[in-house]
Amino acid sequence: MSIDPIALAIGSLSVRWLTVFWLLGGCVAAGWWCSAARRQGIDRESLVYVLSWVAPAALVGARVFHLLSSPEHYLLQPADALSTRGSLALWGAIAGGSLAGLYALRARRLSVGRLLDLAAPGLALGEAVGRIGCLIDGSNLGPPTTLPWAVLYTHPLAQPPDFVMPRHPTPAYHALAALSTFVLLVLVRRHAFGPGAIFALWLVLHACTRFALGFVRVEPILVLGLQISQLWALVALALLGFGIIRRRRATSRGGGPD
């Protein structure tokens, strides 16, 4: 892999392909959701309102989660907290964007579950696009391997663990898994599921994929042999299970689904 990971450089300012592809992935996800929501009769003003909450919250959440994932590094080198090098965490974007989206949808008195369902395929497709940037950048690679599709980076500005050993192209695995999730969600979305079921399915598949692929990603181990992103995956699954139980209890007491 000899691609220059810098997409644009103006003086001391540089923009990496990693950033470009993740921003493009965010635009793909937002565009998918807006298109699907418009077909459901949602007005443009409401869509802009929701996105005005979701986009900045996702960026802030992604940054905060990244900083929390490496507290020792940023305590010793606080200036790096202002750098854009390896600066975002997908779980933070999901958490921040979801919380802001829930607030904005409820503020507009829109159906939370149904509009989250419309967003799910776009989220999977957007991740697949973003992972291309990780692959170009050399981020999130796996351990050394002799498999024929292993990658070895030669450009000095790339960010692999080293420039000596061919490694698992884990971002490509993530992208393929996200594309598979996208196809599955598109195929099942027309079936008669309750509101929120498609979004829940996306979250389960994303969390399970992230947990499984953590074993072929080179990241620090936090506890119990697991990386922090794997632990966040378990937290997401636990919160989802809690939400499903709570919703069923509310429904059994006469509350309708949202």
- Cα–Cα distance between 204 and 233 in angstroms, integer? 9
- Per-residue pLDDT at 78: 57
* Spatial separation of the C-alpha atoms in residues 9 and 3, rounded to whole Å: 15
Residue 239 to residue 80: CA distance in whole angstroms: 32
C-beta neighbour count of 156 within 10 angstroms: 8
pTM comes to 0.89
Tokens of 243: 């939400």
What is the chain's length? 258
Q: What is the 3-state secondary structure (H, E, C) of the chain?
A: CCCCCEEEEECCEEEEHHHHHHHHHHHHHHHHHHHHHHHCCCCHHHHHHHHHHHHHHHHHHHHHHHHHHCHHHHHHCHHHHHCCCCCCCHHHHHHHHHHHHHHHHHHCCCCHHHHHHHHHHHHHHHHHHHHHHHHHHCCCCCCECCCCCCECCCCCCCCCCCCCCCECCHHHHHHHHHHHHHHHHHHHCCCCCCCCHHHHHHHHHHHHHHHHHHHHCCCCEEECCEEHHHHHHHHHHHHHHHHHHHHHHHHHCCCCCC
- Per run of 10 residues, the mean pLDDT along the chain (length 258 residues) is 91 88 95 95 94 94 80 57 64 93 93 93 96 94 96 94 95 97 92 86 96 93 89 93 81 60
Cα 58 from Cα 104, distance rounded (Å): 13
